[in-house]
Amino acid sequence: MRARGHILLISHQRSHSTLLAHILGSHPEIDGYSELHQHYLSPVDLRSMTHRIEEATGRPRRGRYALDKLLHNQGRVDPSILRRDDVRVVFLLRNPRDTITSMVRIAGGRETPQGAVDYYVARLARIDQYSTLTGARAAFVEAEKLVSDTERVLARLTRYLELATPLEPTYERFRLSGQPGHGDFSPNILAGRILRDDERDRGTGKPVEIPAEPLRAAVVAYESLLSAMRSRHSD
């Protein structure tokens, strides 16, 4: 087996990060599928990742990589970690309208559009910092293309991670899949495969109205970062 490494999936809430983490974690060379909610400030934190993944999966580590996803600014990553040869970084972004709408809906009244926008803009600013530090060493996935151009996206990630066999668009149901507090808990994640937009359960309730000015700020932040990341992390 090759030397063991780590994958940090750096994104924001409601970005299809649970979907991508399940796809990655279902590969025999990768362990982990959920958000561990920890810092990565030193090699000690990388070692603790393995133990926490074993708790989340309910089985010993088997693969070459340990995977964690980071969606919140409270979980900090030191620049030295991002530059390590044994750390692979995958960035994932989703457009603001769909992200914010999904955040408000899934929160069931506990999140406002303004609160979701504030989180989104602040999170994109932090992702921009990390992206600048990693440069071409990292991979970048657009959430929309994960769904619409799945084969190409997964082929790129397979090459980036140097996996012996291709990533597949189907995935396992893990011990904590679909449970609140462990990523997407909508029925979609239990499908075991990538669902097209017209197949996805979008929930019920009133349409989410996002005020024009906050939405504009989110769009500006997204478009600026999207352009930068396409340049920094091109094939």
**Span 160-178, mean pLDDT?**
87
Q: In the predicted model, what is the mean pLDDT of residues 204-233?
A: 92
Closest CA to 121 of 217, 210, 10: 217
Average pLDDT over residues 72-76: 96
Token pair belonging to 230: 């396409």
Report the pLDDT averaged over residues 5-20.
Answer: 96
At residue 110, the 3 state secondary structure works out as coil
What pLDDT, on a 0 to 100 scale, did the predictor assign at position 203?
Answer: 59
Confidence bin at 56 (pLDDT 50/70/90): confident
CA–CA–CA angle 70, 71, 77 (5° rounding): 45
pLDDT score, position 127: 98
Instruction: Tell whether the model's pLDDT for residue 3 goes beyond 70.
Output: no
Is pLDDT above 80 for 216? Answer: yes
Share of the chain above pLDDT 70, in %: 91
pLDDT at residue 97, rounded to an integer = 96
pLDDT of residue 1: 45
Rounded CA gap, 66 and 50, in Å? 6
What does DSSP assign to residue 181?
T
Instruction: Sketch out the chain's domains with CATH numbers.
Output: 5-232 (3.40.50.300)
Query: Mean pLDDT for the chain?
Result: 90
Tokens read off for 232:
């920094």
Mean pLDDT of 116-140: 97
Model confidence band, residue 172 (pLDDT cutoffs 50, 70, 90): confident
Which DSSP letter does residue 69 get?
A: E
- Crossing angle (nearest 10°) for helices 96-107 and 212-232: 120
Residue corresponding to tokens 């990538």 = 194
Counting residues of the chain whose pLDDT is more than 90, the rounded percentage is: 71
- The mean pLDDT value for 226-230 works out to 97
* Average pLDDT score over residue span 193-200: 78
Residues 6+ apart with CB under 8 A from 84: 6
Task: Give yes or no for a contact between 146 and 19, defined as CB atoms under 8 angstroms apart.
Answer: yes
pLDDT at site 189: 79
Provide the token pair at 5: 């490494």
Nearest in space to 7 (alpha carbons), one of 160, 179, 197: 160
Q: How far is CA 146 from CA 17, 49, 82, 99, 208, in A?
A: 10, 26, 24, 15, 24
pLDDT grade, residue 134 (50/70/90)? very high
Q: By mean pLDDT, which of 91-95, 182-186, 217-221 is the weakest?
A: 182-186
Query: CA 24 to CA 3: how far, in whole Å?
Result: 18
Q: What pLDDT does residue 17 have? A: 94
